[in-house]
Amino acid sequence: MRIFVLGVGATGSLVAKLLLRQGHRVSCGDRDPERARYFLGVKSPIPVEQVNARDLWSIARAARGTQLLVNTCPPVLNRIVLRAALRLRTHYIDTASHYTGHPFKAEQFGFAQRFEGKRRTAVFTAGIAPGLTNLLIAAAADLLDSVESVRVRLYESTDADGPFSQWSAEASFDEAVARPRIYADRRFHLGKRFGDRELFRFPAPIGPVSVVLAAQDEVITVPYAIPMKSMDVKFGGSDIDRLRRWYRQGKLRKSRRPVASRFMRTPTPRTVHRLLRRGILHNAHFAASVVVEGLKDERPTTVRWDATVPSLFQLRRQGSLSSPIAWATAQMTALFIKHFPRETFGVFPPEALSVEIRRAILRDARARGIRLMKRVTSRAPRDL
């Protein structure tokens, strides 16, 4: 398949390299081709063109003739890239939504009829969280007769002697200033930023972590596909603690642009290597847990999935200088492409894909080094 990857940062560059290994014809576009080369590697055979992702025609010219447009740009550019895919009559995939337009529905849903009319497919929020988390929610729901509640708990921690972020500056800033979405009593609500603190126990070696409400895409897609009563997403770890502290100090405002001293540019592999050698960057971790409660044969049943990815130290030993989040997101995006539903037209979040595709992606995720653990517990039937 001819694939064009738009946005060659920590995630996009790894996606491009993975797709090349899968046998696809890959080309890339980025606003800064020279910097993109630092992510791809100077000896990489993958061509990179200069593309302005805010200009539909710039995207259309660079991606002409491709069969799949992979959008790894900041989510604020989603609408432009979606329109470019329609103009090109190509399939489309991205890794996140942006909270624009309808506050409780991902903007990609609004393009469903146009993709159906073009007989093309768009798969969105196809990364690790969202992405893998959506698949785990759907897998848990498949085991139940009905779903009552869904809880997604995420952990992100960086051990460094100085500012370092596993996310891009734009993504970190959007996460910090956006109001969390909550689904309660079958209705959507806006939650308090960094509110509703609780203690959640992640698998060892992480253990108990304080988590707070976070703006995550799962809440604005999953309730449309899986009937339930409530759902929320909470984040914990040193990175979210730092954002919470800045917010409480009044240093984060939606009207302001990201401050470079707090929201660094995505580090290139060369930068990561330098920080590791100097002892400034020590390690980084990411993990996700999904807890789904419902009924099975009239018995209250809880299905819990835990997903852990290699740490920065482990990835370095494997020869990769990628952050755990970028590595895991790229791996999952490549798997969504491997199992892309090209014969089913429209717009689909991960949980809306067929059971066969979802199971195949989870099976391959394990083979790629993402550890998945499932635990099912049932209680006595409720009194009638």
What is the residue whose two structure tokens read 């970028």?
326
Tell me how far the alpha carbon of residue 25 is from its chain's centroid: 24
Q: What is the arithmetic mean of pLDDT over 198-207?
A: 94
The tens digit of pLDDT for each residue in 8-67 reads: 999 999 999 999 999 999 999 999 999 999 999 988 999 999 999 999 999 999 999 999
Bridge partners (DSSP) of residue 292 are 150, 303
Of 39, 4, 6, 9, nearest to 25 (Cα)?
Answer: 4
**Rounded CA gap, 121 and 118, in Å?**
9
Give the best-scoring range by mean pLDDT among 121-125, 271-275, 316-320: 121-125
**Rounded CA gap, 60 and 85, in Å?**
8
Q: How confident is the model at residue 218 (pLDDT cuts 50, 70, 90)?
A: very high
Cα separations in angstroms, 85 against 5, 79, 111, 347:
12, 10, 11, 12
Phi, psi of 371 (to 5 degrees): -85, 125
pLDDT for position 384: 46
Q: Kindly report whether the peptide bond that precedes residue 300 is cis, defined as omega within 30 degrees of 0.
A: no
Mean pLDDT of the chain: 91
Question: Which helix or strand (DSSP H or E) is residue 27 part of?
Answer: strand 25-30
Does the fold of domain 132-323+369-378 match that of domain 2-94? Answer: no
Pick the CATH number of 132-323+369-378 from 3.40.50.620, 3.40.640.10, 3.40.50.1110, 3.30.360.10: 3.30.360.10
Q: Is the pLDDT of residue 262 over 60?
A: no
Q: What is the arithmetic mean of pLDDT over 157-169?
A: 71
pLDDT for position 129: 95
**Spatial contact of 325 and 307, defined as CB atoms under 8 Å apart:** no
Which percentage of the chain shows pLDDT scores above 70?
Answer: 91
Tell me how far the alpha carbon of residue 87 is from its chain's centroid: 25
In the chain, domain spans: 2-94, 132-323+369-378
Cα separations in angstroms, 157 against 131, 132, 160, 206, 286:
20, 19, 10, 10, 7
**Domain at 2-94, CATH class:** alpha beta
User: Which residues fall within 8 angstroms of residue 384, CB to CB, at 6 or more apart?
Assistant: none
Q: Is the pLDDT of residue 248 over 80?
A: no
What is the residue whose two structure tokens read 């972020």?
165
**Spatial contact of 314 and 284, defined as CB atoms under 8 Å apart:** no
**Rounded CA gap, 175 and 154, in Å?**
13
Which percentage of the chain shows pLDDT scores above 90?
Answer: 73
Q: Give this prediction's pTM.
A: 0.93
User: In the sheet that 68-71 helps form, which strands lie side by side, from edge to edge?
Assistant: 48-50, 25-30, 2-6, 68-71, 91-94, 121-123, 346-348
pLDDT for position 175: 65
Q: ∠ at Cα 118 (114, 124), nearest 5°?
A: 60
Q: Is the pLDDT of residue 258 over 60?
A: no
Q: Is the pLDDT of residue 381 over 90?
A: no
**Rounded CA gap, 142 and 134, in Å?**
12
- Looking at per-residue pLDDT, the higher value among 99 and 343 belongs to 343
